[in-house]
């Protein structure tokens, strides 16, 4: 479904994607794990065509998104749904209009039909009856679910989730995990999840990719990741402060840095 080939992206001296190669299988949930600054979000932005790589290719349904024209990219994007980290709801629109927005923007579907579609999507995320509420009246978990309803309103083939459980309590996290899993299984949607939530990842992933400073240091099933002998992988999944993954990003000696004139 989506294949990333030799993807390179740098910001000055920082290598965010270091010749990445990976494959996102149709109908599966792939979770991209990694700490802050590991290049997860950069990879996601390149896959969705929001950012151009320095070099390399992103094949989506046979089309290389890195060098396609705007019209084709726009057409492909209609097949993609995105749940943004902060859900990115429009504060001035109620829940109904937030979910209906992509339909009004991209199709000529009549109001009556839009109303039915929004009702169906709200039922899927368990929020029917909240149509009239404003985003400011929702809890964090509900906001994510509305974001999810909007992400699926155009019946996408692929959904990208950017940190879907960050900032949520354990129950809300469980609800979002179940929704991601259910949507994937019932609608056969290809799901790509960027996260640093290990527990959530292990609950939902068919495949895990771990990034470390722009490199893929491990990929495989949950079981393969859990039993990996790679010390970086073990440090990351156990959340250990000491190990091969340094807390600080600079190699410079601290005292030398302080004494620099």
Partner 1 sequence: MSLKIEIKKNNNIVVIKVEGEIDMFSSPNLREKLLPFFEKNVKGIIVELAGVSFMDSSGIATLVEGLQWSKKESRHFILTGLGTTVYNALSLTKLENVFTIKQDADQAFKEISRE
Contact between 153 and partner 1 by CB under 8 A: the answer reads yes
Tell me how far, at minimum, the Cβ of 79 lies from partner 1, in Å.
10
Nearest to 151 by CA among 229, 214, 88, 198: 88
Rounded distance, CA 94 to CA 177, Å? 25
Tell me how far, at minimum, the Cβ of 15 lies from partner 1, in Å.
39
The stretch near partner 1 (CB under 8 A) out of 23-31, 57-65, 109-117, 189-197 is 109-117
Contact between 180 and partner 1 by CB under 8 A: the answer reads no
Q: Please say which residue, 154 or 168, places its beta carbon nearer to partner 1.
A: 154
Contact between 71 and partner 1 by CB under 8 A: the answer reads no
Candidates 86, 109, 231, 253: give the one binding partner 1 (CB under 8 A).
Answer: 109
Contact between 80 and partner 1 by CB under 8 A: the answer reads no
Contact between 107 and partner 1 by CB under 8 A: the answer reads yes
Contact between 132 and partner 1 by CB under 8 A: the answer reads no
Contact between 121 and partner 1 by CB under 8 A: the answer reads yes
- Total number of residues binding partner 1 (CB under 8 A)? 20
Contact between 108 and partner 1 by CB under 8 A: the answer reads yes
Tell me how far, at minimum, the Cβ of 152 lies from partner 1, in Å.
9
Chain positions contacting partner 1, by CB under 8 A: 78, 103, 106-110, 112-114, 116-117, 120-121, 123, 153-155, 186-187
């Amino acid at each position: 479904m989506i294949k990333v080939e030799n993807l390179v992206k740098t910001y000055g001296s920082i290598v965010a994607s270091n010749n990445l190669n990976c494959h996102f299988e149709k109908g599966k949930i792939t979770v991209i794990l990694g700490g802050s600054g590991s290049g997860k979000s950069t990879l996601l932005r390149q896959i969705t065509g929001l950012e151009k790589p320095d070099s390399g290719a992103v094949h989506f349904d046979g089309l290389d998104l890195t060098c396609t024209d705007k019209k084709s990219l726009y057409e492909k994007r209609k097949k993609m749904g995105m749940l943004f980290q902060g859900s990115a709801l429009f504060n001035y629109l109620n829940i109904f209009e937030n979910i209906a927005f992509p339909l009004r923007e991209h199709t000529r579907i009549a109001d009556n039909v839009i109303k039915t579609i929004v009702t169906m999507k709200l039922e899927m995320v368990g929020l029917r009856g909240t149509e009239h509420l404003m985003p400011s009246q929702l809890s964090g978990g509900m906001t994510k679910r509305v974001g999810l309803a909007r992400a699926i309103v155009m019946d996408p083939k692929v959904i990208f989730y950017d940190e879907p459980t960050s900032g949520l309590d354990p129950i809300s996290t469980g609800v979002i995990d179940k929704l991601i899993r259910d949507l994937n299984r019932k609608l056969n949607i290809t799901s790509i999840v960027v996260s640093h939530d290990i527990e959530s990842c292990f609950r939902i992933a068919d495949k895990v990719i771990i990034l470390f400073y722009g490199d893929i240091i491990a990929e495989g099933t949950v079981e393969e990741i859990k039993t990996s002998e790679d010390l970086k992988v073990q440090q990351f999944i156990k959340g250990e402060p000491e190990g091969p993954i340094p807390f600080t990003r600079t190699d410079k000696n601290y005292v030398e840095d302080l004494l620099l004139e």
